[in-house]
Amino acid sequence: YTFDATFGPDDSQEQVYARTTKPHLAKLVGGELPALTVIAYGATGAGKTHTMMGEGSLRTGAKGAKGGDGAAGASAGIIPRCVIDLFALAPAGARVRASYLEVYNERVFDLLGGGDEPGRPTTALRVCEDEKNGVVKVLGLTEEPVASAEAVVGLLKRGNARRTTEATGANDVSSRSHAVLQLEAELPGGRNRRLSLIDLAGSERASATGNRGARLQEGAHINKSLLALANCINALTDPSAPKPKFRDSKLTLLIKTALESSDVRLVVLACVGPSMASVDDTLNTLKYAHRAKELPTRDVVEE
């Protein structure tokens, strides 16, 4: 398999971000790209959330960042680094709105709804597609204006506290949902730019996780949505395949534009584990990522 870049355990979070995402973010803020989507894919426990979120999201007071937001700590992942650079690079007068949702058991939940009230969201939102222009919207989704990277990280912490996670046989803290953070930037002159940062739940094999009951049902929904994503990628990269069925999953419907539009940029981070026990998962992830490389909008890297 060949990819646009590969990283090992000795590579830093900064190296991963600088090679995979930062150049595209600069083009987004500079007006060259209308949208940028970054997705972490891999089996449960392969390091997706570590890659996207990292540990210790902000170190405040660093020189040169706007609004006193500071710089990312060494262990910060793609998301906090993107957020910091977005505000550092954005021109004066830019306005940014943030939304944060999860896809859990094929239902979409608002992770920012309800203000500061604790607890998981219970009301599912509708996802609608405009038949004329293909624009996909989540009805009733909270969009909060944010003026600094620290404000976004505060929303992330609030949303992550509500995100569905559980202990499984494969991971002590396993994400049971796909999380989508979207930042809409309105640049001077009325130009709108969208940054989507997606932490996918991990693909699972019931025989490996030992999941039962609710965890088993969650795993089935996760695998179903990831299969729908794979099928859409196959359909978009194989001229002889039928049209992609984006409506087979809420996940694929939400990222439809990132997959099929030629004027956006898609970065896929394929996360794999070093253990021989995970060799099957590693091979499946590499096959998935290799096919994603054929999308016209993509950069695919392997960690």
Domains of the chain: 5-302 (3.40.850.10)
Mind listing the pLDDT tens digit for each residue in 159-194?
A: 988 887 654 444 445 578 999 999 999 988 888 999
pLDDT at 130: 84
Q: Stretch 28-33: mean pLDDT, rounded?
A: 92
273 annotated to a ligand binding site? no
DSSP character for 102? E
* Contact by Cβ (8 Å): 267, 236: no
Angle of helix 13-20 relative to helix 78-89, nearest 10 degrees, comes to 60
26 annotated to a ligand binding site? no
Exposure string over 138-176, b if 16+ CB within 10 A, otherwise e: beebbeeebebbbbbbbbbebbbebbbbeebbbbeebbb
Of 118 and 242, the structure prediction assigns the larger pLDDT to 242
Q: Stretch 208-213: mean pLDDT, rounded?
A: 55
123 annotated to a ligand binding site? no
56 annotated to a ligand binding site? no
* Contact by Cβ (8 Å): 74, 13: yes
Q: Is the pLDDT of residue 281 over 60?
A: yes
Amino acid at site 135? V
49 annotated to a ligand binding site? yes
What does pLDDT average to over the chain? 85
256 annotated to a ligand binding site? no
Sequence-separated (6 or more) residues with CB below 8 Å from residue 242? 235
Strand residues in 30-119 grouped as ranges (E): 35-42, 95-104, 107-110
